[in-house]
Amino acid sequence: MKTWENYIRKVEPYVPGEQPKDTGVIKLNTNENPYPVSPEVIAAVKQFDTDRLRLYPDPEASVLVDAIAERYNLSSDQVFVGVGSDDVISMCFMTFFNSDLPVFFPDISYSFYEVWADVYRVKYEKKPVDSQFRINPSDYKGKNGGIIFPNPNAPTAIYMELDSVEDIIKSNQDSVVIVDEAYIDFGGQSAVKLIEKYDNLLVVQTYSKSRSMAGMRIGYAMGNERLIKALNDVKFSVNSYTMNATSLAYGAASMKDVDYFNETVNKIISTRTRSEERLRELGFTFPESKANFIFASHRSVPASVIFEELKKRKIYVRYFAKPRIDNYLRITVGTDEQMDKLFEALAEITGDR
Ligand code: PMP
């Protein structure tokens, strides 16, 4: 081993869901939105002045920040933007989690939290969810260096009522509490309205799911001005130009189209309801979903077998070979047509016609 190899930062990276290269795939494995971007975004793409590409983008990302602030009735100094919520949350770990006390997050949750904690050398303690995968708010009451959890949780799709979320925030006013609301638009109530009440709350959302823009990479955090300033100070110490000129323009256009947003979100919710009924008939059980995915287990056929069989039929879902959840599949809610093809394949695989 070369000496320099001793000084490499050793990390076990997060493994994102597969992006298959072949065509004709039904892709239900990374919780993307099956519907196109808003027509306002398409118009913005057509109007985009390519001369903008010659110049550095606005380091303050003002058009995007302002559009988000307006949509959520906040002031612009209460909004921070980043390259997907992954970038935003990564910045949050760097900015807020510097205590000697452990950061708390659920044991069954977004597996990236552990990776950021490791890469930034943050101490952490995973709080086990209960036998039905529910987060217990009373687990989040000991001394800690910060708290983060998704609501709805991933990969379980379980939503925690806002009262319980508030209970966690209220009981931890010496720490920053981050509520990762990647999936909140699919039926949950956002904690954004609690920002006025709690200066230790940061709400993180994304364009990747409810706004059909995973490929654009836009995420944002909303919170007290002092939290947002701290995030911007760190951002400007790492990379001033995180948001490129196109994401600023297209992101702002998307945020303004509330009608289209409501229409597509409602379509996904109704397909989810229908999918839950059909999955139940096929012998699956799952917690009630308030996200754009369903976390399902079959009564007799192992999840790993179903996963492989679906893949052979060019249907991709997500499978995690991890303790407690290795008999579950995380199935993204697609269009009705995509889901019908999935059910046909599942009926064949499970022998339930
Ligand atoms: N939080 C949760 C809970 C997620 O499932 C995801 C999607 N992988 C993200 C954050 C990150 O999403 P993005 O970076 O696309 O905004």
Q: Residue 298 is part of a domain; what is its CATH number?
A: 3.90.1150.10
Residues 214 and 266 in one domain: no
Residues 148 and 53 in one domain: yes
Residues 332 and 224 in one domain: no
Nearest CA to ligand 1 atom 8: 30
Q: Is residue 216 part of a domain?
A: yes
Domain boundary among 240, 256, 272: 256
DSSP percent split of the chain into helix, strand, coil, nearest 5: 40, 15, 45
How many whole angstroms from 281 Cα to the centroid of ligand 1? 30
Q: Is residue 77 part of a domain?
A: yes
Domain boundary among 206, 228, 256: 256
Residues 88 and 171 in one domain: yes
Ligand 1 pocket, residue 206 CB under 6 Å: yes
- Residue 138, by phi and psi: left (phi above 0), alpha (psi -120 to 50) or beta? alpha
Domain that holds residue 219: 39-256
How many whole angstroms from 349 Cα to the centroid of ligand 1? 30
**Closest by CA position to 11, among listed 126, 173, 101, 120:** 120
Q: What is the 3-state secondary structure (H, E, C) of 252-279?
A: HHHHHCHHHHHHHHHHHHHHHHHHHHHH
Burial of 198 (0-12, 13-18, 19+ CB in 10 A): middle
Residues 94 and 185 in one domain: yes
The ligand 1 atom at the shortest distance from the C-alpha of residue 154 is 3
* 3 state SS of 161: coil
Residues 150 and 198 in one domain: yes
How many whole angstroms from 54 Cα to the centroid of ligand 1? 30
- In angstroms, the CA 249 to CA 243 distance is 10
Q: Is residue 12 part of a domain?
A: no
Residues of the chain under the 70 pLDDT cut: 352-353
Domain boundary among 214, 229, 256: 256
Q: Residue 78 is part of a domain; what is its CATH number?
A: 3.40.640.10
Residues 106 and 87 in one domain: yes
Burial of 71 (0-12, 13-18, 19+ CB in 10 A): middle
**Domains identified in the chain, total number:** 2
Number of Cβ atoms within 10 Å of the Cβ of 205: 26
- What b-and-e string marks burial along 187-196, b requiring 16 or more CB atoms within 10 Å of the CB? bbebbbebbe
Q: Is residue 95 part of a domain?
A: yes
- In angstroms, the CA 296 to CA 344 distance is 16
- In angstroms, the CA 67 to CA 74 distance is 10
Residues 187 and 74 in one domain: yes
The ligand 1 atom at the shortest distance from the C-alpha of residue 153 is 3
- Terminal Cα-to-Cα distance of the chain (whole angstroms): 58
Beta strands across the sheet bearing 146-150:
79-82, 219-223, 201-206, 177-180, 146-150, 103-106, 124-127
Q: Is residue 67 part of a domain?
A: yes
How many whole angstroms from 110 Cα to the centroid of ligand 1? 8
Contacts of 353 (CB under 8 A, 6+ apart): 347
Q: Is residue 3 part of a domain?
A: no
- In angstroms, the CA 57 to CA 273 distance is 42
Pairing of strands 315-316, 318-319: unpaired
Instruction: Note whether 93 and 122 are within 8 A (CB).
Output: yes
CA 243 to chain centre: 19
Instruction: State the pLDDT at residue 352.
Output: 63
Residues 79 and 121 in one domain: yes
Q: Is residue 9 part of a domain?
A: no
Residues 283 and 325 in one domain: yes
- In angstroms, the CA 252 to CA 61 distance is 10
Ligand 1 pocket, residue 286 CB under 6 Å: no
Ligand 1 pocket, residue 146 CB under 6 Å: no
Residues 195 and 84 in one domain: yes
How many whole angstroms from 265 Cα to the centroid of ligand 1? 17
How many whole angstroms from 73 Cα to the centroid of ligand 1? 23
Q: Is residue 7 part of a domain?
A: no
- In angstroms, the CA 332 to CA 208 distance is 13
The ligand 1 atom at the shortest distance from the C-alpha of residue 180 is 1
Residues 335 and 223 in one domain: no
- For the entire predicted model, the pTM comes to 0.97
Ligand 1 pocket, residue 115 CB under 6 Å: no
